[in-house]
Amino acid sequence: MKKIILSLVALLLYTANADIHIFDINNTSDAVKAENIEKIFRDNGFEVGINNEMNRPFTKQFGKTEYKIFNLLTIYHPTLSMELVNKYSKAGVFVPMSIGIYQGENEKDIHISVLSSKAQEKITGIKSPIFAKIEDKITKAIMTTFPHAKHRETLQGAKATKPLLTMFDMKLGNNKPSDDKDNFEMSLESGFEPKGFVMPAFLNVSDEISKNKNLKNAYDFYDTYSICKLEVIYNVAKTRPEAAAFAPCTTIVYKKKGEKKLVVGFPSVYNWLSSASVIEPEATRVLLKAQNDFETILRDITE
């Protein structure tokens, strides 16, 4: 019976056009914690970047929270994710990818939200079966552990009117790649803090690719930063907590071997507005401000 359940869920995921999958798990006993969900992914072959508990900073900065549980988890698959990003540079915006974990104060269910493979293909403009393979592993990890979980999808949101990826590049001279990387990332990190962004995690993707003997590393360097802005997450969570599947935002910084340019980019906030149907005025305002601030930082560094 369990195999039948998994097969049906996998079929739903691969044929649906929804951008965000949500798994609802009964938690009336409060037995399921964010730490349990993190362990599920670890036990199923994923690496975990962060598992940030957000209620404490919500309460500290805004004086309250509407959630019993609200965590931002990031994961990547050490084999599949590295194969994907080594072949398709832009795919790194999902290495790691984000998982939302939340439960309202008066809710009986805890929820897990994750972007669909279709959404990841749409955002990156890349068609690859690897997205679906990763999605299948995530689905099986959840449904094997919680066979009675209910699966649902977000309603189709508004069509995005602006690019779903924000990308910049910068011409490089004859410096050592490591010097270019260090100089750029120092400027990047110093630009984020004054505008209220925080960087809870960093991943040296290039090193992770090099660990796989079956891959020939395509990069002189490839790093990803997990970037958060508390004001954005708090305001969006009031009406669209499933949008946690977009947070924290993964920012890519890389240089391909044989090229004389550094590339930096991130998934635009227009994904939140369209895929998660964010329409509440204050949430929309802080999202668009974050987009503008982010673009300003990158433009100042790369021009």
Tokens of 155: 């309603």
Strand-pair partners of 70 = 102
Q: How far apart are CA 75 and CA 52, in angstroms?
A: 12
Model pLDDT, residue 66:
95
Q: Which residues contact 26 (CB under 8 A, 6 or more apart)?
A: 108, 109, 148
Cα angle 87, 161, 250; round to 5: 40
Model pLDDT, residue 13:
42
The 8-class DSSP code of residue 155 comes to P
Residue 196, Ramachandran bin (φ over 0: left; ψ between -120 and 50: alpha; else beta)? left
Model pLDDT, residue 10:
42
The pLDDT tens digits of the residues spanning 290-303 come to 999 999 999 999 98
Domain containing 16 equals 2-302
Model pLDDT, residue 2:
38
User: Measuring CA to CA, which residue among 104, 49, 40, 84 is closest to residue 240?
Assistant: 104
The CATH number of whichever domain residue 55 belongs to comes to 3.30.310.70
HSE toward the beta carbon, residue 97, CA cutoff 13 A: 29
Q: At what angle do helices 281-302 and 177-192 cross, to 10 degrees?
A: 140
**Domains: count for the chain:** 1
Tokens of 263: 């590339």
Q: Say yes or no to pLDDT of 11 above 70.
A: no
User: Measuring CA to CA, which residue among 166, 163, 165, 185 is closest to residue 262?
Assistant: 185
pTM of the model: 0.92
Q: How far apart are CA 216 and CA 148, in angstroms?
A: 42
* pLDDT, average across residues 9-38: 81
Q: Say yes or no to pLDDT of 54 above 80.
A: yes
**Cβ proximity of 267 and 245 under 8 Å:** no
Q: Model confidence at 15, in pLDDT bands (50, 70, 90)?
A: very low
The pLDDT tens digits of the residues spanning 157-209 come to 667 789 999 999 999 988 898 898 899 989 988 888 888 898 888 999 999 99
**Cβ proximity of 111 and 100 under 8 Å:** yes
Return the minimum-mean-pLDDT range out of 70-74, 77-81, 179-183: 179-183
Model pLDDT, residue 156:
58
Return the minimum-mean-pLDDT range out of 18-22, 34-38, 152-156, 230-234: 152-156
The pLDDT tens digits of the residues spanning 97-140 come to 999 999 999 999 999 999 999 999 999 999 999 999 999 999 99
Model pLDDT, residue 8:
38
